[in-house]
Amino acid sequence: MAARKAKETQAPYEADKKTPFDIKERTFLFGIRVVKLVGRLPKSVAGIEVGRQLIACGTSVGANVEEAHGGESKKDFAHKMNIAKKEARESRYWLRIVKATLLDEPEVDALIQEADELVRILATIIHKTRRMTV
């Protein structure tokens, strides 16, 4: 019972690393984590500006994945997934800035790793989609 309770309290992305993850859900959770992190940044000029940049790109990853799933063609799908990948790369950049200058805590490291994994997953999706359209 205690093990079940512990698993229920974990975030879905930590609960079972072996379970395949829906990219729409994973990028949505990434956006939520970014928003929560930005809320903890210092209210300095740098904290506010870096936070704005990070909110924009961190939430855009999932928004573009959603747009891709509504795409008009496989080419449109791949294009929008590529935009999501670029936003994930930008998120990784701003997270590295956060870690180096504003907030060095484990959640920042975890988000950098998640951004890196999202870049790789999205690149694979794009590659496979483009291969199917040739």
**Is position 62 within any domain?**
yes
CA 4 to each of CA 1, 7, 16, 18: distance values in angstroms, whole numbers, following the listed order? 5, 5, 12, 17
Q: What is the mean pLDDT of residues 38-50?
A: 98
Nearest to 95 by CA among 133, 57, 134: 57
pLDDT at residue number 86 = 98
Domain count, the chain: 1
pLDDT band at 17 (very low <50, low <70, confident <90, very high): low
**Is position 12 within any domain?**
no
**Is position 5 within any domain?**
no
The CATH number covering residue 33 comes to: 1.20.1440.60
pLDDT tops 90 at residue 123? yes
Q: What is the mean pLDDT of residues 27-45?
A: 98
pLDDT tops 80 at residue 14? no
Averaged pLDDT score across all residues of the chain: 88
